[in-house]
């Protein structure tokens, strides 16, 4: 992490022989190192803290003095596990994060890498250095769903080149943790390489028992954010993992898991907190890391402990505690002025020595980014006309006497396998008289294959939906009317990626997501909120029974959560580790 201030300059400011650029006077410093609240002043030179104490010797004629009387001076918050692609993009998320006091985002690179490759992603990271705030990255070692060319795409040379970048602090979560459990050679060799660089390896161990966790830790995984009970959190902590407590739009679990601390009284030095990529409206309503702090303190956590978990603990986990995470000389000047220790919304946000937000209003300027320059892959190789065939979106089946495997939703992202006998007409399952069932297809953007399924308890009155917003970023079509599905698919093709809903032959909602099929290119966070709210309202009006449509779409096409899934390799039963129905060659190419 490069800084502008030299050590000689910082020494001179600390001794009063050089004037500070910024001086925060009379506040109560939250010392996350000692756990104390101290009435002290803070002197900043260029982008670093130079002095913390009672002296005012570094104040000069050109020093900007900030009166912090009656205020708390806190380190900037750190989000150690961000997904900057939940309709919003890295710029719009950074804007929102800074306004709420989160000065460091540690971002997952998955969809950027899938569409940009190593060269495009590296160029994007270099250009994003110009952003205010502190954007760091975690690099995926594998995708979230197996596909035929995955190991070619995630190859040694490309992955290691990215892991060596300064902005990359480690590897991102391996959602398919059985690969680690079974000792996948590529993963283990890459993690060893990573450890040699002194970087971390984030984890994802949903559903992993204590006995199996031993193998995951032995494989070199540093942390996990997937515990949903206090016991699961404690299991991870006891095995040496950095344990990340989550409160997100999909899993608002903090009230349960924080009892490990409030009731169990465990040590908190290796405990972090994350929002884990919540949907835009959740951030708008609940906040980001500031929201975690509010919730944690409301649930009985002492403010000092809560702040330590989102500052110095996170920095230590990232192996950056001598650069960020606390208020001390030579640390990056990421500082917040807080009016109290209950709300945690900052009155003033300083990032890299610059005032970037005041009372929630962003003051910093942001560069304009041409996202297209990074993308290596064209949006669609398949012709639009190939998507306009209604039969493409139906489910081929030979006989009504043969049961059909059905993806039955049990919650937002968990499904189970059902077997139903369904009527057949002209070689296709006929859902015209079936209540609660819809067709679902995952279509390769290049037109090489299509994986087909039928779903229950998704959105019973949905005519047609098409979306590139899913964990594969291929084209997902869902609905009860194949003609409407075809119309939605064709419109998404025209948009170059996105989400479209068709009702009674008319497009009633379209959300352009041209950046990898997952993100708007708008720099406005509010635009992402509007899109997400409109989508949720539209599907709920058509029978969607859950609370987070973005994660339902995202995880329908993964291969690590229970139930039936639509993945590039076909209709897949995760528990049985069985391909139930092979993908078909695209019939209209």
Q: Which residues pair with 138 in a beta bridge?
A: 108, 170
**Segment 148-198, tens digit of pLDDT:** 999 999 999 999 999 999 999 999 999 999 999 999 999 999 999 999 999
**Segment 525-541, tens digit of pLDDT:** 999 999 999 999 999 99
Task: Tell me how far apart the alpha carbons of residues 538 and 544 are, in angstroms, rounded to a whole number.
Answer: 9
**Segment 60-76, tens digit of pLDDT:** 999 999 999 999 999 99
User: Does 587 score more than 90 pLDDT?
Assistant: no
DSSP assigned state of 8:
H
User: Does 588 score more than 80 pLDDT?
Assistant: no
Residue pair 455/431 in contact by the 8 Å Cβ criterion: no
Q: Which residue matches tokens 């961000």?
A: 82
Query: How high is the pLDDT of residue 318?
Result: 98
Name the pairing type of β-strands 424-425 and 564-567: unpaired
Q: Token pair of 577, please?
A: 């580790």
DSSP letters for 549-588: HHHHHHHHT-SSSSSEEEETTEEEETTTTEEEEPPEEPTT
pTM beyond 0.75, yes or no: yes
**Segment 409-432, tens digit of pLDDT:** 999 999 999 999 999 999 999 999
Tell me the backbone φ, ψ of residue 192, rounded to 5 degrees. -60, -40
Farthest-apart Cα atoms in the chain, separation: 89
Q: Which residue matches tokens 């959560």?
A: 561
Task: Tell me how far apart the alpha carbons of residues 235 and 212 are, in angstroms, rounded to a whole number.
Answer: 11
Query: How high is the pLDDT of residue 377?
Result: 87
Q: How much is the average pLDDT of 337-354?
A: 98
Tell me the backbone φ, ψ of residue 53, rounded to 5 degrees. 165, -155
CB neighbour list of residue 148: distance below 8 Å, 6 or more residues apart: 568, 569
DSSP assigned state of 393:
G
């Amino acid at each position: 992490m490069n800084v502008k201030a030299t050590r000689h300059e910082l020494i001179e400011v600390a001794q009063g022989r050089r004037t500070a650029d910024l001086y925060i006077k009379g506040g109560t410093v939250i010392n996350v190192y000692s756990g104390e609240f101290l009435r002290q002043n803070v002197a900043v030179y260029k982008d670093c803290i130079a002095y913390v104490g009672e002296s005012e010797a570094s104040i000069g004629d050109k020093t900007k003095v900030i009166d912090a009387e009656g205020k708390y001076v806190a380190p900037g918050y750190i989000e150690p596990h961000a997904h900057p692609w939940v309709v919003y993009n890295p710029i719009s998320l950074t804007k929102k994060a800074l306004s709420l006091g989160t000065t460091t985002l540690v971002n997952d690179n998955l969809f950027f890498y899938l569409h940009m490759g190593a060269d495009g992603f590296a160029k994007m990271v270099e250009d994003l250095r110009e952003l205010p705030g502190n954007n760091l990255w975690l690099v995926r070692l594998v995708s979230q769903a197996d596909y035929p060319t995955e190991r070619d795409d995630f190859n040694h040379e490309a992955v290691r080149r990215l892991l060596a970048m300064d902005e990359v602090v480690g590897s991102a979560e391996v959602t398919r943790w059985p690969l680690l459990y079974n000792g996948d050679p590529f993963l283990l060799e890459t993690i060893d390489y990573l450890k040699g660089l002194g970087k971390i390896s984030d984890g994802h161990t949903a559903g992993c028992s204590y006995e199996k966790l031993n193998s995951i830790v032995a494989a070199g995984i540093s942390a996990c954010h997937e515990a949903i009970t206090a016991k699961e959190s404690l299991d991870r902590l006891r095995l040496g993992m950095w344990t990340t407590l989550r409160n997100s739009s999909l899993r608002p679990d903090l009230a349960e898991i924080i009892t490990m601390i409030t009731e169990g009284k465990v040590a908190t030095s290796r405990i972090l907190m994350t929002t884990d990529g919540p949907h835009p409206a959740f951030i708008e309503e609940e906040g980001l890391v500031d929201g975690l702090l509010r919730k944690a303190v409301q649930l009985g956590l002492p403010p000092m402990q809560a702040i330590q978990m989102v500052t110095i603990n996170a920095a230590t986990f990232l192996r950056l505690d001598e650069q960020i995470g606390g208020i001390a000389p030579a640390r990056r000047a990421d500082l917040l002025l807080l009016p109290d220790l209950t709300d945690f919304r900052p009155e003033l946000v300083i990032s890299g020595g610059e005032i970037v937000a005041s009372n929630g209003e962003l003051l910093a300027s942001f560069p304009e980014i041409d996202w297209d320059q990074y993308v290596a892959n064209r949006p669609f190789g398949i012709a639009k006309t190939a998507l306009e065939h209604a039969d493409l979106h139906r489910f081929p089946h030979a006989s009504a006497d043969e049961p059909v495997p059905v993806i039955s939703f049990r919650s937002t992202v968990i499904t189970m396998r059902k077997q139903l006998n369904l009527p057949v007409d002209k070689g296709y399952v006929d859902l015209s008289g079936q209540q609660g069932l819809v067709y679902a297809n995952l279509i390769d953007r290049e037109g090489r294959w299509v994986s087909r399924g039928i779903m229950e308890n998704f959105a019973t009155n949905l005519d047609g939906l098409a979306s590139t917003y899913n964990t594969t970023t291929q084209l997902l079509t869902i609905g009860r009317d194949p003609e409407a599905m075809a119309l939605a698919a064709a419109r998404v093709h025209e948009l170059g990626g996105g989400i479209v809903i068709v009702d009674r032959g008319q497009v009633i909602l379209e959300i352009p997501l041209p950046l990898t099929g997952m993100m708007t290119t708008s720099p406005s966070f509010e635009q992402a909120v509007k899109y997400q709210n409109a989508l949720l309202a539209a599907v709920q009006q058509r029978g969607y029974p859950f609370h987070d449509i973005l994660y339902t779409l995202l995880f329908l096409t993964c291969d690590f959560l229970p139930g039936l899934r639509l993945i590039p390799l076909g209709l897949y039963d995760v528990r049985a580790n069985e391909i139930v129905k092979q993908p078909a060659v695209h019939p209209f190419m």
